[in-house]
């Protein structure tokens, strides 16, 4: 007689003691694209050996055939039959079996990243971006959760690209978990290297917050997108003019890009967002992230013209290709104030971007069966896409690259996106024009927290605490950051009514080091009083100092160092010995394998004096590491911010740059 194990016992068991029966693929699940068939026959045997080492030998005969079929059909071995039977979702921290609360909080965050309401391809353990994985397979998930149920406060779990290498003795001050994803030797960091070594089961693409367990659903980017869209309109509209009735045209409704229509609503404009995958568009509509669904171009044109005439605030998902929208709006003389793109162009050949004039289903067939033809059609579409954008910008549209590698891949496809110097792009990155000088250089970035109790009332209380702290700080803030402070106060006051929560009870806002530390201390004090339960702190890697990404996060670094990765490496090392509960470092992120290095952290607040010590030490460094680098690059805003921080923090001493007169250099013969 088989005994049904409880949720806690299933976690503590890890790999089951009895071989579970095969599982049928669930109907209606959003399946990940089939990956490239890139392994030789010998390498496929090696991939199977690598997968089977998780299991006892008596299971190998049966599992070898099954895993070989998965590798053939999907290009990866996901081990579907080992997916746990319990619902994957963020439970209360008290529901997890653990010897320390830090470990239970990490389990909560892992399960949230795999929640079907949150994850893009949950059956394949992919959270967002088409390939941003939490683990490579279900055996890794089971082992990691088992280790976390056993870990004590003087041990550290080391995870290599999803694989739980094991528990090692450390100390109470050490991180409980250290995560690396995709850390390749530089000469093996091309896209096909990811395809090959991921298929072998030895590395993975952790995106930015998937493989570091810090993804909180589209809310994680809603705020950044809102700030970007609001300030983009401020750049193009006359002072006092409203965004109402003005168009923001973009593409993508997947994991991260799904935030765009919600951000457009908050920014008070008309948002038109094209999405080729009907399931993704429908999911966002059902979740309330987009107001209307339209799959007919004539209907879209009529609806947009009506919205313009009535100066509406509305978000519209168009089920179709974005290139058709750009071209049709040009023909129909529909003026676009803001244009961008947030498709997954870091992953252009495996479903991150789809060619025009081909159905979604046919495109997926080409990915599987004729990848070279698919690539040709994608590149032809990128050229056509760029041409359409150029026509609109000639009429006055403000177009910005949203750091998704649109301009990079368009240039590689031969699209007309280069500036006259043949080196730079003709359109700015949104970090160059907006988030870099206005936010990152001043230390403002995506601070986030999760109420580990799972109680919505705790989230309401933390919202109120954060708003109170920000109001107090703003009263004494210099003029240079008043706009940033006000935008974030407005955001946090309206956060609940915008219905941003998907999965865990989480919140995000942009704050500088002072704001993060004071908000975190206020949370810790509230936990100590018993007003709220434990809180997990974190941030997006898309921040002041976590990421070195030359075409996005560090695109406004002009001293030649934007292609270096020292900042991100120092970030994760520095956070690890200053109090982080877990740290992560990734190759890949939102702009592509080999294009970026990004580091992240998680920190559990439990109301203790030790948590207060940790948050002050770690959050100060986590932000000011990046401000110091940006100041050294001669960014005026960062120079102002780091001098202000040094005045507040006597033991902070940062090397400051000396300026050079242009005349001295211009008179040299070089």
Q: Is it the case that residue 358 has pLDDT exceeding 50?
A: yes
Binding residues: 129-130, 207, 275, 402, 590
User: Three-state secondary structure along 169-207?
Assistant: ECCCCCCCEEEEECCCCHHHCCHHHHHHHHHCCCCCCCC
Phi and psi of 15, rounded to 5°?
-65, 125
- Of 431-435, 488-492, 572-576, give the range with the top mean pLDDT: 572-576
Residue 571 near residue 208, CB atoms below 8 Å: no
Residue whose structure tokens are 């929560």: 501
Residue 79 near residue 67, CB atoms below 8 Å: yes
Dist. CA 484–CA 486, nearest whole Å: 6
Tell me the per-residue pLDDT of 522-560, one tens digit each, with 9 for 90 and over: 999 999 999 999 999 999 998 999 999 998 899 999 999
User: Can you tell me the mean pLDDT for 427-446?
Assistant: 92
Phi and psi of 355, rounded to 5°?
-70, 150
Tell me the per-residue pLDDT of 577-619, one tens digit each, with 9 for 90 and over: 999 999 999 998 878 899 999 999 999 999 999 999 999 999 9
Can you list the domains of the chain with their CATH numbers?
A: 7-200 (3.40.1770.10), 242-430 (3.40.50.10730), 436-641 (3.40.1770.10)
* pLDDT of 255: 66
Phi and psi of 177, rounded to 5°?
-140, 140
Dist. CA 145–CA 15, nearest whole Å: 10
Long-range contacts of 471-476 (CB under 8 A, 24+ apart): 472/518, 473/514, 473/515, 473/518
Give Cβ neighbours of residue 670 (< 8 Å, ≥ 6 apart).
none
Binding residues for NAD(+): 129-130, 207, 275, 402, 590
DSSP annotation of 356 reads T
Dist. CA 479–CA 552, nearest whole Å: 27
Mean pLDDT of the chain: 94
Buried b or exposed e, range 174-205, using 16+ CB within 10 angstroms: bbbbbbbbbebeeeebebebbbbbbbbbbbbb
Torsion sign (Cα): 140, 52, 121, 41: positive
Tell me the per-residue pLDDT of 614-646, one tens digit each, with 9 for 90 and over: 999 999 999 999 999 999 999 999 999 999 999
Tell me the per-residue pLDDT of 51-77, one tens digit each, with 9 for 90 and over: 999 999 999 999 999 999 999 999 999
Q: Is it the case that residue 145 has pLDDT exceeding 90?
A: yes
Give Cβ neighbours of residue 668 (< 8 Å, ≥ 6 apart).
none
Buried b or exposed e, range 309-326, using 16+ CB within 10 angstroms: eeebbbbbbbbbbbbbbb
pLDDT band of 149, cuts 50, 70, 90: very high
Dist. CA 86–CA 583, nearest whole Å: 27
Alpha helices in 422-502 (DSSP H): 430, 436-438, 456-475, 482-494
> Considering just the CA atoms, what is the radius of gyration of the chain in Å?
24
Smallest Cα–Cα separation from 392: which of 444, 449, 325, 446?
A: 325
* pLDDT of 1: 38
pTM (two decimals): 0.89
Least confident stretch, 302-306, 349-353, 354-358, 454-458:
349-353
pLDDT higher at 106 or 131 = 106
Say what angle helices 138-150 and 101-113 make with each other, to 10 degrees.
Answer: 160
Structure tokens at 652: 């902070």
Give Cβ neighbours of residue 459 (< 8 Å, ≥ 6 apart).
451, 496, 501, 505, 506, 507
Say what angle helices 60-74 and 41-52 make with each other, to 10 degrees.
Answer: 130
Dist. CA 563–CA 566, nearest whole Å: 10
pLDDT band of 423, cuts 50, 70, 90: confident
Dist. CA 93–CA 103, nearest whole Å: 9
Dist. CA 192–CA 452, nearest whole Å: 39
Tell me the per-residue pLDDT of 265-280, one tens digit each, with 9 for 90 and over: 999 999 999 999 999 9
């Amino acid at each position: 007689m088989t005994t049904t194990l409880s949720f806690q016992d299933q976690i503590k068991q890890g790999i089951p003691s009895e071989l579970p029966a095969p599982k049928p693929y669930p109907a209606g699940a959003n399946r990940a694209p089939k990956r490239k068939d890139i392994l030789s026959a010998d390498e496929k045997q090696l991939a199977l050996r690598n997968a089977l080492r998780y299991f006892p030998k008596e299971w190998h005969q049966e599992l070898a055939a099954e895993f070989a079929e998965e590798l053939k059909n999907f290009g990866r071995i996901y081990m579907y039959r080992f997916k746990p039977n319990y619902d994957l979702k963020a439970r209360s921290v008290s529901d997890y079996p653990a010897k320390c609360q830090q470990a239970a909080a990490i389990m909560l965050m892992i399960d949230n990243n795999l929640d079907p309401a949150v994850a893009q391809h949950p059956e394949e353990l992919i959270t967002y971006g088409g390939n941003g994985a939490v683990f490579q397979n279900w055996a890794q998930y089971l082992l990691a959760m088992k280790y976390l149920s056993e870990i004590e406060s003087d041990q550290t779990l080391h995870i290599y690209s999803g694989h739980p290498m094991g528990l090692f003795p450390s100390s109470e001050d050490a991180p409980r978990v250290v995560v690396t994803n995709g850390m390749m030797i530089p000469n093996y960091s091309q896209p096909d290297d990811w395809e090959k070594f991921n298929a072998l089961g030895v590395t993975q693409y952790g995106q930015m917050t998937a493989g570091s367990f810090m993804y909180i659903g589209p809310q994680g980017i809603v705020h950044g997108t809102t700030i970007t869209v609001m300030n983009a309109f401020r750049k193009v509209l006359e002072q006092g003019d409203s965004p109402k009735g003005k168009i923001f045209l973009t593409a993508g409704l997947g994991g991260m890009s799904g935030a765009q229509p919600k951000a457009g609503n908050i920014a008070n404009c008309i948002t038109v967002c094209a999405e080729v995958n009907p399931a993704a568009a429908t999911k966002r509509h059902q979740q309330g992230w987009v107001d209307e669904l339209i799959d007919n171009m004539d209907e879209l044109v009529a609806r947009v013209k009506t919205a313009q005439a009535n100066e509406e605030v509305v978000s519209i998902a168009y089920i179709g290709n974005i290139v058709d929208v750009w071209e049709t709006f040009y023909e129909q003389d529909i003026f676009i104030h803001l244009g961008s793109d947030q498709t997954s162009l870091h992953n252009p050949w495996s479903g991150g971007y789809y060619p025009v004039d081909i159905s979604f289903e046919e495109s997926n067939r080409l990915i599987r069966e004729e990848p070279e033809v698919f690539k040709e059609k994608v590149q032809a579409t990128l050229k056509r896409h760029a041409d359409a954008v150029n026509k609109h910008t000639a009429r006055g549209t403000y177009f910005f690259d949203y750091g998704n590698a649109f301009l990079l891949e368009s240039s590689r496809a031969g699209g007309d996106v280069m500036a006259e110097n043949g080196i730079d792009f003709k359109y700015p990155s949104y970090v160059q024009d907006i988030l870099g000088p206005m936010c990152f250089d001043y230390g403002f970035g995506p601070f986030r927290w999760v109420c580990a109790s799972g109680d919505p009332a705790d989230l309401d209380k933390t919202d109120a605490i954060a708003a109170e702290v920000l109001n107090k700080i703003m009263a004494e803030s210099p003029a240079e950051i008043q706009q940033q402070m006000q935008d974030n106060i407005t955001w946090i006051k309206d956060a609940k009514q915008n219905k941003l929560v998907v999965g865990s009870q989480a919140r995000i806002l942009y704050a500088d080091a002072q704001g993060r530390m004071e908000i975190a201390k206020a949370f810790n004090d509230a936990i100590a009083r018993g007003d709220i339960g434990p809180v997990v702190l974190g941030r997006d890697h898309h921040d002041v100092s976590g990421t070195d990404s030359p075409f996005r996060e560090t695109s406004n670094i002009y001293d030649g160092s934007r292609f270096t990765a020292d900042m991100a490496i120092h970030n994760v090392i520095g956070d690890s010995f200053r109090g982080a509960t877990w740290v992560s470092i990734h190759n890949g992120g939102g702009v592509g394998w080999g294009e970026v290095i990004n580091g992240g952290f998680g920190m559990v607040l439990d109301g203790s004096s030790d948590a207060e010590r940790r948050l002050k030490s770690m959050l100060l460094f986590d932000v000011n590491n990046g401000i110091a680098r940006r100041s050294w690059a001669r960014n005026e805003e960062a120079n102002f911010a780091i001098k202000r921080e040094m005045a507040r923090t006597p033991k902070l001493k940062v090397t400051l740059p000396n300026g050079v007169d242009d005349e001295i250099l211009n008179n040299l013969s070089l």
